[in-house]
Chains A and B, each alone.
Chain A
Amino acid sequence: MLPTFEPKILAFLCNWCSYAGADLAGVSRFQYPPNVRIVRVMCSGRISPRFVLKSFQEGADGVLIAGCHPGDCHYSKGNYYTRRRLTVLGKLLEHVGLDPRRFKVKWISASEGGKFADVVKEITEDVKKLGPQNSLKRVDENE
């Protein structure tokens, strides 16, 4: 048994803004909890709802999605699709019993290293309070 619950959170970040923001957090040495694992995609518009569902299914205690601020998308409008798609997904997840604090969609620019660190802190603290995520986790060992 672990003395305290250390959640595991997956973050999907777009290459141009949010991944760069996460790098800047490093360059600026902003410290944040080591609970997040980052998956890089070229555009947040690539993030299929399936990735989020799969993450929760595999046992993620939280999922963070971040892309360029609306209007700043490197591919001009990818993040608008993200916004629409993931708003619907968020509502759906809530409907099936997932606490909305476990799923966050944020806009983080390449110069917002501090914001990235803050967002990670926030979701980690929230998820820590909520405890392990079991509502969507796969129970059957054979997929």
Chain B
Amino acid sequence: MKSGQEKVGAVLVVGGGIAGMQSSLDLAESGFKVYLLERSPCIGGVMAQLDKTFPTNDCAMCIMAPKLVATGRHPNIELITNSEIEKLEGEPGSFEVTLAKHPRRVSSEKCTGCGICAQECPVEAINEFNEGLLPRSAVHIDYPQAVPLTFIIDKTVCIGCGICEKMCKANAIEYDQAEEQQKIDVGSIILALGFDEFNPEIKKEYGYGIYPNVVSSIEFERLLSAIGPTGGMVLRPSDYDIPKKIAFIQCVGSRDEQCDKSYCSAVSCMYSIKEAIIAKEHTEGLDCHIFYMDIRTFGKEFEDYYNRAQEEYKIGFTRSRPASLREDPETKNVIISYVENGEPKEEEFDMVVLSVGIDAPKDAITLSERLGIDLNKHNFVSTKKFSPLSTSREGIFVCGAFSSPKDIPDTVAQASGAASKASSIISSERGKLVAKREIIPEKDVRLEGARIGVFVCHCGINIGGVVRVPEVVEYARTLPNVAYAEHNLYTCSQDTQERIKEKVKEHDLNRVIVASCTPRTHEPLFQSTTSEAGLNPYLFEMANIRDQCSWVHMHEPDSATEKAKDLVRMAVAKARLLEPLKKATLDVKRNALVIGGGISGMTAALGFADQGYKAYLIEKTSELGGKVRHLHYAVTEENPQDELFALIKKIENNENIEVFKDAELLSIEGYVGNYKTKISYENLEKEIDHGVVVVATGALEYEPTEYSYGEDRRLVTQLELEKLLAEEKINPKNVVMIQCVGSRGESVSYCSRICCTTAIKNALQIKDQHTDAKIYILYRDIRTYGFMEDYYQKAAEEGVVFVRYDVDSKPKVEITEGNLKVSVKEPNIDEELRLDPDLVVLSVAAIPDPNNEELSKSLKVPLSKDGFFLEAHMKLRPVDFATEGVFLCGSAHSPKFIDESISQAEAVVSRACTILSKDYLEAEGVISIVNSDICSGCETCILVCPFDAIDKDDKKKAKVNELLCKGCGACVAACRAGAIQQRCFTDEQILSVIRSAFQEVEV
């Protein structure tokens, strides 16, 4: 064991799903070495299995693939797959972890991922990735985009026939690989193990595993996927027929004491609605029906999604938990027995999807014992409300579904947040263990004619088995400007990289073309080889003659060879016109401006300070604390006031934080890395230079106009009730709470997320103070997601009465002769319930601050249709704005709980550190540039740019901010004068490529 003195600038991230990848990327980009440990053969996790994601119906693979690739090739991330933790020693800042690496039996150095072995393997085994719906071979990868793209031999099914070894041209098969041990030193650990699906076989009454047409929701997800077993066709398993009527049953393995899963899985309502919508989009005339207990669409823009499912997609919703399923033995249809409005009913479906719950990961208990961390009673990692990312052991952090069931955006936010926590304890070690970038002098080629080298790849037999590669090489040699051409067995192999460098020198080449696979995976590798050869990396071009030629024309060698020649000719036409690019660089002001002094803003400010950066915290009122100042109770045992004041004290005593109260933002200028902001505070003015901005302005409480609010002192909001309870000013005997006041279609269309739990929290508090008080909660759906469900159960057990009402017949509040009267119609009993409360509590909506509009304009960031700030991407960039350098957290994003706000605030710190930790910022290379001699100043490009990267200079001509431009080229196509060009994709280059598609183009 090490002495406690030396800290290690490295972090171990356990679990390679979307959370693990996000943590790793953030850490690697902020100056820390990362070991990313994954027990399965490749990273990607559950998200890789998903077809679409809610509520935007984004294609999961489309949005995740760039992260997979970035994680796989980051110089500061070491992927350790097919491995597990064996032992942990040491202390925070300096842990020693022993890992068990299971044999892969395929060499990760040699395997090129070509897949010939799997095609020839005679074994058929269960394909876990496709949920057993399709077989796979013994030597396999999980999915085509897998990272690392190294095959693995499943020893349990391998028959040892030796075919793969004979077929592998790269000699990568190593049957005799043994178990290995690896010891690594890290400063901190992040647990991102995710979850396992509930096994629906446990619920015998649903006949899963017996009736073929009863499938789990994750199996159904694979059926919807274009890369799934049915290619995206919804087919029922018994006869591969197209179903006409599908039912979804919610809460299978959630909210169910019988199978020891009392908590809510938080995501199943949304994913079932999504699956129903996508299934309908895939299958004409399909009828989808969802059986549920409460619909819990509590997240940002989830309620709209639910409404659209009903109105636009005509998906049926029935509030009932079916008792049992049975099968019609002849048709294999499934008959659902359920009770609706007290009446037993039956309905027949072609197929039934069980919306399975989220279980703690299978290895949670073993791992927690090895690491010495506490789990909660549901076997998830135990965390606290005010430290949602910390485990019980110092130096070990948690994120994602491993601490409680959650969706992708909450997971991603926590993943970034955990990265911030994990790095803050080793912030002194930043930059010490990361890969150093070698600077290779570049040859100036601007005045030379193009001398192109063409390297054509056989890719084993992947290309060479179809395309006559030597013929393509011969042809390439005849093309103008081609000074050298050759073919390689694998152009991507390490020895070929060396060869390319030699040939560049030998033949004095100044452009390199590789004709092989796809630039999407291999361009960076060849670009770095080009760079190591002393050429600017942008003097490289690729021709895709595998994925888009030999693989798709396998039976047409003549046409494929001709096409490969065309593609090489087109690449030559482009390469000839390529120019060396320099990326713009800029210094970074290493401090942050945080707008809003509530729990989110304070957490963010403290996070920056812990990372060693200065934070300016501006608060518009005269006190820090925001809405939490008014909270006296948490549903858990913590005391919000104690926690809040401890935090305020830390902020005020931290020399890295400067607080401005009664402050207002006067103006903000600049861009990422370099902002200049004027503020006024306490009648003074100040100018602040900073590198990033954080929006943490929170939300407001809706002031109700309904239910006679304001007419009687006994009509209060939940916040007002909390104050009364804390001051012990009331002695209520008979309390009625009304949910969704303002929310879900009244004043605002969304669900305010927090009010159900808040009502239950305060009901329990009343019960605690006044045991005999009668409490009625009038609700539409109770949305106590995750472990908060346990408090709903507790309230019910303590005698709180929950009465449901329909949106069409809302409760009525009357004040007659000084008495409060509430009447409500419970939809199941066709009678009006009349109550005589002495206190009516309104659970009012959380609404966006009207000042958001002005702030959004000064920061040039968008608002959502509901008036909250709109992040860059709803799923994968929850705390970033599309404008780089500006971030958001807390209720300014959408209503949320304290722990969720804290997670987001920590996430902001992590995301911002990827900027603040840099010596300088580097722009993208492939950006747009303006020729101001031609620019007419029409401003079309300014309107078109999605990143606000174009402005006018003092001559009223367009000017691209190189640091903000992301290189989409939309402005180029929009420019009426032809004054903007995109580097690497200039009009001249593309037009030359077009021309060369039909004929040889001379210089």
Contacts and interface: CB of A to CB of B under 8 A. Distances in A.
Interface of A: 6, 8, 10, 15-17, 19-20, 22-32, 34, 37-43, 45-51, 54-55, 58-60, 68-69, 71-72, 74-78, 81, 85, 109-115, 117
A120 to B, nearest CB: 9
A77 B227 contact: no
Given A26-B551, A37-B570, 4 more contacts: A16-B66, A17-B59, A29-B552, A114-B226
B567 interface: yes
A47 B973 contact: yes
Nearest to B66: A16
Contact of A16 (B56, B62, B144, B547): B62
Contacts of A117: 552
Contacts of B553: 31-32, 34
A111 B966 CA distance: 24
Interface stretch (B245-253, B748-756, B984-992): B984-992
B519 interface: yes
Nearest to B56: A71
Contacts of A37: 563, 566-567, 570, 997
Interface stretch (B192-200, B524-532, B554-562): B554-562
15 contacts: A8-B997, A17-B59, A19-B520, A20-B62, A26-B548, A38-B544, A39-B570, A39-B990, A48-B972, A51-B990, A71-B58, A74-B968, A75-B947, A76-B882, A110-B61
A81 B974 contact: yes
Interface in B367-416: none
A39 B994 contact: yes
Given A26-B546, A72-B58, A109-B62, A51 B994 contact: yes
A45 to B, nearest CB: 4
B993 interface: yes
Interface string B488-523: 000000000000000000000000000000111000
Interface of B: 51, 56-63, 65-66, 144, 225-227, 231-232, 518-520, 544, 546-549, 551-556, 559-560, 562-563, 566-567, 570, 872, 882, 926, 944, 946-947, 966-970, 972-974, 982, 985, 987, 990-991, 993-995, 997-999
Contacts of A19: 518, 520
Contacts of B926: 42
A95 to B, nearest CB: 21
A120 B926 CA distance: 29
A55 B554 CA distance: 27
The residue among B232, B570, B994, B995 with the most chain A CB atoms within 10 A of its own CB is: B994
A6 B567 CA distance: 17
A46 B548 contact: no
A91 to B, nearest CB: 18
B973 A24 contact: no
A15 B65 CA distance: 12
Contacts of A22: 547-548
Contacts of A26: 518, 546-549, 551-552
Contacts of B232: 112, 114
The residue among B62, B225, B882, B972 with the most chain A CB atoms within 10 A of its own CB is: B62
B969 A43 contact: yes
Contacts of A68: 62
Contact of B559 (A30, A34, A41): A34
Contacts of B57: 71
Contacts of A48: 972-973, 987
A31 B554 contact: yes
Nearest to B65: A110
A74 B947 CA distance: 12
A72 B563 contact: no
Given A31-B552, A37-B566, A24 B969 contact: no
Given A17-B62, A75-B968, A111-B62, A27 B997 contact: no
A81 B973 CA distance: 9
A46 B968 contact: yes
A114 B282 CA distance: 14
Nearest to A29: B551
B297 to A, nearest CB: 19
Contacts of B974: 81
A30 B967 CA distance: 31
A113 B970 contact: no
B563 A34 contact: yes
A72 B970 contact: no
A20 B56 contact: no
B972 A46 contact: yes
The residue among A22, A23, A76, A112 with the most chain B CB atoms within 10 A of its own CB is: A23
B547 A58 contact: no
Contacts of A40: 519
A101 to B, nearest CB: 20
Nearest to B63: A72
A28 B982 CA distance: 33
B201 to A, nearest CB: 30
Contact of A28 (B62, B227, B998, B999): B227
Nearest to A59: B998
Given A29-B554, A43-B968, A78-B970, A111 B51 contact: yes
Contact of A42 (B144, B544, B570, B967): B967
Nearest to B561: A34
A10 B567 CA distance: 11
A10 B944 contact: no
B61 A46 contact: no
A43 B984 CA distance: 13
Contacts of B552: 25-26, 29-32, 34, 117
B144 A72 contact: no
A41 B985 CA distance: 7
A31 B518 contact: no
A2 B570 CA distance: 24
Nearest to B570: A37
A134 B944 CA distance: 35
Contacts of B993: 39
Contacts of B556: 34
A48 to B, nearest CB: 4
Contacts of B59: 17, 69, 72, 109-111
Nearest to B61: A111
Contacts of B60: 111
7 tightest CB-CB pairs across the interface, nearest first? A46-B969, A26-B547, A45-B970, A26-B551, A75-B968, A34-B559, A43-B968
Contact of A113 (B51, B62, B227): B227
A136 to B, nearest CB: 13
A42 B985 contact: yes
Contact of A24 (B227, B990, B991): B227
Contacts of A59: 998
Contact of B944 (A28, A54, A81, A112): A81
Contacts of B982: 42, 46
Contacts of B548: 22-23, 25-26, 38
A117 B227 CA distance: 13
B134 to A, nearest CB: 12
Contacts of B551: 26-27, 29
A46 B973 contact: yes
A30 B566 CA distance: 21
B804 to A, nearest CB: 35
A53 to B, nearest CB: 10
A94 B181 CA distance: 67
A23 B520 contact: yes
A116 B272 CA distance: 28
Nearest to B228: A111
A15 B518 CA distance: 11
Contacts of A23: 518, 520, 544, 547-548
A34 B565 CA distance: 12
Nearest to A46: B969
A47 B878 CA distance: 30
Contacts of A8: 997-998
Nearest to A69: B59
Contacts of A17: 59, 62
B544 A78 contact: no
B998 to A, nearest CB: 5
